[in-house]
Chains A and B, each alone.
Chain A
Amino acid sequence: MSFSDFQLIPDGASTLASKVDALYFFALAVSAFFSLLIAVLIFFFFVRYRRRIDGPQVGERIHGSTPLEIVWSAIPFVITMVMFVWGAMVYYEKSQVPADAEEFLATGKQWMWKFQHPEGHREINALHVPVGKRIRITMTSEDVIHSLFIPAFRIKQDVLPGRYTTLWFEATRPGTYHLFCAEYCGAEHSRMIGSVYVMEQDDYQDWLSGGRSGLTPAESGAALFTQHACDTCHKEQRTGRGPSLHGIAGQQVRLASGRTLTRDDAYLRQSIVHPGAELVAGYPLLMPTFQGQITEEGILHLIAYLKSLSAPAAEYSPPIPPEGAEQGPSSADPSEVNP
């Protein structure tokens, strides 16, 4: 135990940290002010109005004052609303993942963190990142709920099974910082910890090239795509039994139920794991489920692969067959554009 390195707040090492700290100090000041005010007043009244043998034996019969009630309702209301607005702004910034961020992947499982860089490097319970680059981490859990917490960055996000959550940051200061699991997850929850290594950009490049990178997520995904014979039905030019998967990530799609939705990561995951849940219009359910055959990490790789596929030459649109007609894309006009 060393008193000389005693800190009141952790080092701030991200662009968000100073904003969170500013908000915190404001809230702390307000709280401290009112706590002290009330403590002092209590003490003061306690002494000033104590019952004396020669003094009044009962208090003054004051029943109330409506103006005072309004004042001391309004003031806390205003102060808390200020805190709300300021807090919401910081929170909003934390939740708006920048589109140009580098895409990292993370999987939490009892009881370790697995990270993967876009270049392919994998790390367990450690994360090397460069200063000054915006980084987003798409995360999922293989079992129970975890939560990725990096105190120095002032960020935290729950990591759920069966779903993707994202957090983003931009590191500002080189150093080594704690990384914790912040959602109780069983026996070794306290040991599901690690370190974040923030490096100057040159040092980071050195680190990248020094290590074994392995395949990038997209390359791993391509391998899985072939290994599981996805290309049997999903061909680039819509000649397979399933829709083409080129250029679809992030695009709108019309479902068999009539709804339209965006093909985001969650949708892509669901299509692999529960193909029947949200069928694309114009296609029968032929696709088997791959749940249990591909790991969560594998699914993340497949999604990375799909994101790397650009659209085919012809504009892709799923045809809506007339009622009762034979299902299947091969009979449709590929150039037909959906209204």
Chain B
Amino acid sequence: MSETSSVTVHAPGLAHHFDSYEQQKETSLLGMWLFLVQEVMFFGGLFVTYVYYRSLYPHAFNVGARELDVLWGTVNTGVLLLSSFTMVVAVMGAKHGSRGGLLAGLWGTIGFGLLFLGIKYVEYSSKWEHQLVPGLNFDWHGEAARGIEIFFSLYFGMTGMHALHMVVGIAIMFFMLRPAARGKWTPENHNFVEGFGLYWHFVDIVWIFLFPFLYLIGLASE
């Protein structure tokens, strides 16, 4: 509660325009949820494009999907799920004032995130070698080349956008390490960690959709 004098002594970590930690926390989380809603719309545009082209070229999409390595895709799915687990560890650490937990969680998430990106690099290189990169290095002999090229355009577009979001997330985590080590985030105020956790989980969920849409359709019999 602010006093009638406007020269207030602000509690540590409480921004001047908020009246209480609770208001600050609820507002921060609301802001992050709103941001995630617009991320849903962003990826939604990609999914709409995918659904449309898949309805036009159903066979080609299945054929194209078979060129993807379901094993690597599954491993990556596991890696991301683990990274969400470490993210929860980090948030719990901040919530309970455990600096060690927070740092371990952040490092773990960074590690799994980098592992994911490394595997993606392996996959992308393989696509380049097999000449499956539309526009830049694409060569497909056989039926349905057109649909397959669109499939790969979507593959790179969607996983690329997703990877970009992961890069941004990992970069932010690197910037979080120092303040985390210095105890900036306390049980009363760890909104940044919690908000970032929401973002990371969202990025994970996007992958949960990308994986079946791009990889698993290759398991179809046609």
Binding site for B on A (CB under 8 A): 257, 274-277, 279, 285
The bracket for how many chain B residues form the interface is: 10 to 19
Hey, which chain B residues are within 8 Å of A275, CB to CB? 143
Q: Does B54 contact A (CB under 8 A)?
A: no
By the criterion CB–CB under 8 Å, are A276 and B144 in contact? Answer: yes
How long is the Cα–Cα vector from A179 to B94 in the complex, in angstroms?
A: 70
| Contact flags B135-176 to A (C-beta < 8 A → 1, else 0) | 000000011111100000000000000000000000000000
Q: Which residue of B lies closest to A274 (CB)?
A: B146
Q: Is B59 interfacial (CB 8 A cutoff)?
A: yes
A83 to B42, CA, bound (A): 36
How many whole Å from B217's CB to the nearest CB in chain A? 15
Question: What's the least CB distance linking A324 to chain B, in Å?
Answer: 14
Determine if A257 and B146 form an interchain contact, defined as CB atoms under 8 angstroms apart: no
Does the CB pair B58–A277 fall under 8 Å? no
B3 CB within 8 Å of chain A: no
Find out whether the CB atom of B222 lies under 8 angstroms from the CB atom of A277. Answer: no
Residue B213 at the A interface, CB < 8 A?
no
CB-CB < 8 A to A257: which residues of B? 58-59, 222
Q: How many angstroms between the C-alpha atoms of A279 and B59 in the bound complex?
A: 11
- Residues of A within 8 Å of B196, CB to CB, are none
With most chain B CB atoms within 10 A of its CB, the pick from A275, A276, A279 is A276
How far apart are the CA atoms of A279 and B147 in the complex, in Å?
Answer: 14
Chain B residues contacting A274 (CB-CB under 8 Å) are 146
Residues of A within 8 A of B58 (CB): 257
B-side contacts of A279, CB under 8 Å:
143
Which residue of the partner chain B has the closest CB to A287? B143
Q: Could you name 15 residue pairs across A and B whose Cβ atoms are closer than 8 Å?
A: A257-B58, A257-B59, A257-B222, A274-B146, A275-B143, A276-B142, A276-B143, A276-B144, A276-B145, A277-B57, A277-B144, A277-B146, A277-B147, A279-B143, A285-B143
Question: Which B168-222 residues sit within 8 Å CB-CB of chain A?
Answer: 222
B57 to A, closest residue via Cβ: A277
- B114-143 interface code vs A (CB 8 A; 1 in, 0 out): 000000000000000000000000000011
Interface of A is mostly: loop
- Docked Cα-Cα span, A285 to B57, in Å, equals 16
Chain A residues lying within 8 Å of B147, measured Cβ to Cβ, are 277
Give Cα distance in the complex from A160 to B74, angstroms: 42
Which chain A residues border B143 with CB–CB below 8 Å? 275-276, 279, 285
The distance in angstroms between the C-alpha atoms of A293 and B144, with both chains bound, is 19
Closest chain A CB from B172 CB (angstroms): 42
In the assembly, what is the distance between CA of A277 and CA of B58, in Å? 10
Interface string of B91-127 (1 = CB under 8 A from A): 0000000000000000000000000000000000000
With a cutoff of 8 Å between Cβ atoms, the chain A residues found around residue B146 in the complex are 274, 277
> How far is the CB of B57 from the nearest CB of chain A, in Å?
7
- Minimum distance in angstroms from B139 CB to a CB of chain A: 15
- B59: chain A residues at CB < 8 Å are 257
Closest to B144 in A: A276
Which of B46-68 touch A at CB < 8 Å? 57-59
Give chain A residues whose Cβ lies under 8 Å from the Cβ of B145. Answer: 276
CB distance from A151 to the nearest CB of B (A): 34
Alpha-carbon distance between A279 and B145 when the two chains are bound, in angstroms: 14
Query: A274–B142 Cα gap in the complex (Å)?
Result: 11
Smallest CB gap from B145: residue in A: A276
Shortest distance between the CB of B144 and any CB in chain A (Å): 5
Task: Give Cα distance in the complex from A275 to B147, angstroms.
Answer: 12
**Which residue of A is nearest B146, CB measured?**
A274
Q: How far is the CA of A274 from the CA of B149 in the complex (A)?
A: 13
User: Interface centre among A277, A279, A285, by most B CB within 10 Å?
Assistant: A277
CA distance A279 to B142 in the complex (A): 13
Closest B residue, CB atoms, query A257: B59
- Distance, CA A321 to CA B145, complexed state (A): 25
In the bound complex, what is the Cα–Cα distance between A257 and B221 (angstroms)?
A: 12
Question: Nearest Cβ distance between residue A273 and chain B, in whole angstroms?
Answer: 9
In the assembled complex, how far is the CB of residue B74 from the closest CB belonging to chain A, in whole angstroms? 28
Inter-chain CA distance A275–B146, complex, in Å, is: 11
Contacts of B57 in A (CB 8 A): 277
Could you tell me the distance between the alpha carbons of A222 and B142 in the complex, rounded to whole angstroms?
29
Q: How far is the CA of A275 from the CA of B143 in the complex (A)?
A: 8
Closest to A279 in B: B143
In the complex, which residue of chain A has the Cβ closest to the Cβ of B56? Answer: A277
A sample of 13 more A-B contacts (CB under 8 A), given A276-B144, A277-B57, is A257-B58, A257-B59, A257-B222, A274-B146, A275-B143, A276-B142, A276-B143, A276-B145, A277-B144, A277-B146, A277-B147, A279-B143, A285-B143
Q: How far is the CB of B31 from chain A (nearest CB, A)?
A: 34
- In the complex, the chain A residue whose C-beta lies closest to that of B59 is A257
Q: Which residues of B contact A285 (CB under 8 A)?
A: 143
State the Cβ distance, B203 to closest chain A Cβ, in Å: 35
Closest Cβ neighbor of A259 among chain B residues: B58
CA gap between A276 and B143 in the complex, in Å: 5
